[in-house]
């Protein structure tokens, strides 16, 4: 095992170079807000978010090194540190907070205020950063060579390959531009339909199809063919097996939670009506079981991780005098955590009692430790944040119910606790990846930690407005914004508090998840596929197939293959950001009622058949652009 003295970073500890500058702060804040909003939009649509560290690093290198002609790798590192915090905070927030909007839509409470959302996000994000500070020496330094931190190491490699920064940055910006154009054509001008479907109406009542959105397809490319196929398989099970069985056996029966005969529901709303009334509960059961299964499987590692981290902290000496060993003062860390805990309890805008604040601190520090270690081993994409949130919500809701905090008051308190814990886990995982990048490059930990704080503050102030805007435009739980995790969290809390869930459907989903786990398929992506519309899963599958073509092609050497794959990932990351930005703009137009002025389909009466053909043509163009900027890209020898 290596230690601090044996490892030599790229920038020596004795060398002082610019890190936190006006340029890095401004660029980082912009990227934190942009990638935070884009990931919020993406996560609410498809239930998954993507890491913003590498795209942020590439953009930083392109601007600072190529445009500004500055040779400052640590300054670029601070940009990606601040920028990636926005994505992580958004990921934690959208998994839980939209549940409050769903209750408001049902008339159970008023909508949460923007100040309330901002404070929940801010306190959760800051706790995530400060919980990670004492863990840095234990996990990043002492475990160097043991914990690979895949995203953090990859980000360091991207920054070290600074000579290609300009070309790589142009790939990200190209993705943003193309996706913005495609999104505007589909959902702005509405020249083509955003979805192509084939429905079976008589006898067999399945439905299959695909969306044509660039961001959704990009998720498939980034996740790869395996994860994409698991999601698609879950969608096929729901829409080609379960829905036809319900319509076949249900016929003229009215079955709870539906309010009309199944045949009538299908006649009026098609397969989507059956999905909304029945299948989403099955999917929710599968998702909840998947989260808990992933947590149980990780329990030995969780216990070992927590014990090892505590041992390392207790046996660790204070920070050294070297620049690369300087953390935020431990006295400051303890004082800030104490203040944040009191604020969680006493701030009126946050519906958390003293018991809730204690739960936040205990579970928050535990899951911050687990999250930081697990992303080091298996990467951020495999971090069971949803499982941690589900476990927290179950325990918190039970404790609140036993202590007399019931009804909507208890439910809002539970979701606030779950939101803070979810954000803590997401931010602590992101912070540890960023600190690993800084450790390899020779950054000053204290300055990176300050950068994380800046990113959290910027993203927290943006997330409330973003959620309000998206809810006002389309509403959470709608076809445009399914908000799968938040809907799941809402159902879990209601199930514990009121016991009014259709438990038979939920348990069907639970045992589907168990079967899937037994046969060795990763249960969470499959469960997400069961929960989400098959058209969305199919679009993700297309992205996975493109990645499969790229991976299977024979290249002259491994370096070329890596370059092609990475260019595709950067282009797709740009497409996610580009579509997210235009999605936010279109939501703004919808709120002000001017979106109809752009609707050429309604204005000129474009036939549905033409719109469907146009969709397939545009989808082919989107696929070609991904191949053009990866597999078909001209490369210098």
Please write the tens of the pLDDT for every residue from 357-379: 999 998 888 888 878 877 887 66
Q: List helix spans (H) across 106-242.
A: 114-132, 136, 150-160, 165-183, 214-223, 225-237
The answer to whether the CB of 205 falls within 8 A of the CB of 238 is no
* 91, 193, 469 from 473: Cα distances, Å: 20, 19, 6
Hey, what are 228's tokens?
């994409």
Domain count, the chain: 1
> 621-636 burial, b for 16+ CB within 10 Å, e for fewer?
ebbebbeebbbeeeee
- Please state, in angstroms and rounded to a whole number, the distance separating the CA atoms of residues 494 and 193: 36
Kindly state whether residue 363 falls inside one of the protein's structural domains.
Answer: yes
Kindly state whether residue 359 falls inside one of the protein's structural domains.
Answer: yes
User: Which neighbouring-strand residues pair with 210?
Assistant: 196
From the DSSP assignment, how many helices (H) and strands (E) are in the chain?
Answer: 26, 2
Q: For tokens 């935070």, name the residue.
A: 36
pLDDT, residue 184, reads 94
pLDDT, residue 302, reads 64
Kindly state whether residue 568 falls inside one of the protein's structural domains.
Answer: no
Any idea what DSSP says for residue 195? E
Q: What number of other Cβ atoms are within 10 A of residue 15's Cβ?
A: 12
Kindly state whether residue 228 falls inside one of the protein's structural domains.
Answer: no
- Please state, in angstroms and rounded to a whole number, the distance separating the CA atoms of residues 27 and 56: 9
pLDDT, residue 512, reads 95
Residues of the chain with pLDDT under 70: 1-5, 162-167, 298, 301-302, 305-320, 378-384, 387, 636-637
pLDDT, residue 378, reads 61
* 287, 304, 531 from 479: Cα distances, Å: 19, 42, 12
- Please state, in angstroms and rounded to a whole number, the distance separating the CA atoms of residues 482 and 473: 13
pLDDT, residue 117, reads 95
pLDDT, residue 597, reads 84
Residue 461 sits at φ, ψ, to 5 deg, of -75, -20
pLDDT, residue 1, reads 42
Q: For tokens 């934690």, name the residue.
A: 92
Hey, what are 297's tokens?
């499987």
> 24-47 burial, b for 16+ CB within 10 Å, e for fewer?
bbebbbbbbbbbbbbbbbbbbbbb
Q: Which residue, 119, 15, 2, is CA-closest to 443?
A: 15
> 324-361 burial, b for 16+ CB within 10 Å, e for fewer?
bbbbbeeeebeebbeebbebbbeeeebbbbebbbebbb
Kindly state whether residue 111 falls inside one of the protein's structural domains.
Answer: yes
Any idea what DSSP says for residue 133? G
- Please state, in angstroms and rounded to a whole number, the distance separating the CA atoms of residues 602 and 605: 5
pLDDT, residue 126, reads 97
pLDDT, residue 457, reads 96
Kindly state whether residue 304 falls inside one of the protein's structural domains.
Answer: yes
State the sign of the Cα–Cα–Cα–Cα dihedral 40, 46, 51, 52: negative
pLDDT, residue 273, reads 87
- Please state, in angstroms and rounded to a whole number, the distance separating the CA atoms of residues 624 and 259: 45
- The pLDDT tens digits for 568-614 are 988 988 898 888 889 888 898 888 888 788 888 888 888 888 888 99
Q: What number of other Cβ atoms are within 10 A of residue 521's Cβ?
A: 16
Kindly state whether residue 575 falls inside one of the protein's structural domains.
Answer: no
pLDDT, residue 315, reads 54
The answer to whether the CB of 349 falls within 8 A of the CB of 112 is no
State which H helix or E strand residue 211 sits in.
strand 207-211
Residue 163 sits at φ, ψ, to 5 deg, of -60, -30
- Please state, in angstroms and rounded to a whole number, the distance separating the CA atoms of residues 491 and 352: 20
Domain that holds residue 121: 22-173+292-488
Kindly state whether residue 145 falls inside one of the protein's structural domains.
Answer: yes
């Amino acid at each position: 095992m290596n230690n601090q003295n044996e490892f030599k970073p790229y920038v020596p500890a004795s060398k002082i170079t610019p890190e936190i500058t006006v340029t890095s702060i401004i660029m980082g804040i912009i990227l934190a807000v942009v990638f935070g909003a884009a990931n919020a939009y993406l996560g609410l649509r498809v239930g998954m978010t993507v890491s913003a560290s590498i795209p942020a690093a590439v953009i930083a290198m392109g601007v600072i090194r190529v445009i500004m002609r500055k040779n400052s790798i640590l300054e670029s590192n601070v940009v990606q540190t601040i920028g990636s915090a926005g994505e992580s905070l958004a990921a934690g927030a959208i998994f839980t907070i939209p549940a409050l909007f769903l209750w408001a839509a049902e008339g159970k409470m008023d909508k949460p205020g923007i100040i309330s959302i901002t404070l929940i996000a801010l306190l959760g994000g800051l706790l995530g950063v400060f919980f990670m500070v004492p863990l840095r020496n234990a996990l990043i330094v002492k475990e160097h060579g043991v914990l690979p931190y895949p995203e953090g190491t990859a980000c360091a490699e991207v920054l070290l390959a600074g000579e290609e920064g300009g070309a790589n940055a142009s790939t990200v910006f190209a993705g943003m531009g193309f996706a913005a154009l495609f999104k505007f054509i589909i959902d702005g001008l509405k020249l083509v339909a955003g979805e192509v479907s084939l429905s079976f109406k008589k006898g067999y009542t399945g439905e299959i199809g695909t969306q044509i959105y660039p961001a959704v397809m990009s998720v498939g490319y980034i996740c790869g063919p395996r994860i994409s196929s698991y999601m698609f398989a879950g969608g096929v099970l729901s829409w080609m097996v379960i829905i036809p069985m319900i319509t076949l056996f249900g016929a003229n029966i009215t079955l709870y939670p539906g309010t009309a005969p199944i045949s009538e529901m299908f006649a009026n709303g098609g397969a989507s009506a059956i999905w909304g009334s029945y299948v989403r509960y099955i999917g929710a059961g599968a998702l909840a079981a998947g989260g808990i299964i992933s947590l149980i499987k990780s329990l030995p590692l969780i216990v070992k991780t927590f014990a090892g981290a505590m041992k390392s902290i207790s046996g660790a000496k204070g920070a050294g005098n070297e620049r690369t060993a300087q953390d935020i003062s431990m006295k400051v860390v303890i004082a800030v955590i104490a203040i944040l805990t009191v604020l969680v309890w006493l701030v009126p805008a946050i519906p958390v009692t003293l018991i809730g604040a204690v739960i936040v601190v205990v579970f928050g520090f535990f899951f911050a430790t687990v999250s930081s270690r697990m992303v080091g081993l298996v990467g951020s994409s495999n971090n069971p944040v949803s499982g941690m949130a589900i476990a927290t919500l179950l325990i918190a809701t039970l404790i609140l119910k036993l202590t007399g905090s019931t009804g909507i008051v208890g439910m809002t308190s539970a979701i606030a606790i779950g939101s803070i814990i979810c954000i803590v886990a997401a931010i602590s995982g992101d912070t540890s990846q960023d600190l690993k990048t800084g450790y390899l490059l020779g950054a000053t930990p204290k300055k990176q930690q300050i950068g994380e704080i800046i990113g959290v503050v910027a993203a927290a102030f943006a997330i409330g407005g973003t959620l309000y805007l998206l809810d006002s435009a389309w509403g959470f739980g709608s076809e445009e914004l399914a908000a799968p995790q938040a809907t799941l969290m809402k159902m879990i809390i209601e199930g514990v508090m009121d016991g009014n869930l259709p438990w038979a459907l939920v348990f069907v989903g639970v045992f589907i998840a168990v079967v899937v786990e037994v046969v060795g398929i990763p249960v969470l992506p499959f469960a997400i596929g069961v929960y989400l519309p098959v058209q969305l899963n199919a679009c993700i599958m297309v992205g996975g197939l493109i990645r499969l073509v790229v991976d299977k092609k024979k290249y002259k050497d491994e370096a070329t293959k890596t370059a092609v794959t990475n260019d595709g990932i950067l282009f797709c990351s740009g497409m996610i950001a580009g579509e997210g930005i235009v999605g936010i703009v279109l939501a703004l137009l919808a709120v002000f009622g001017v979106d109809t002025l752009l609707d050429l389909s309604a204005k000129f009466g474009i036939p549905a058949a033409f719109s469907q053909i146009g969709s397939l043509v545009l989808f082919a163009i989107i696929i070609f652009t991904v191949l053009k900027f990866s597999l078909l890209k001209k490369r210098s020898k």
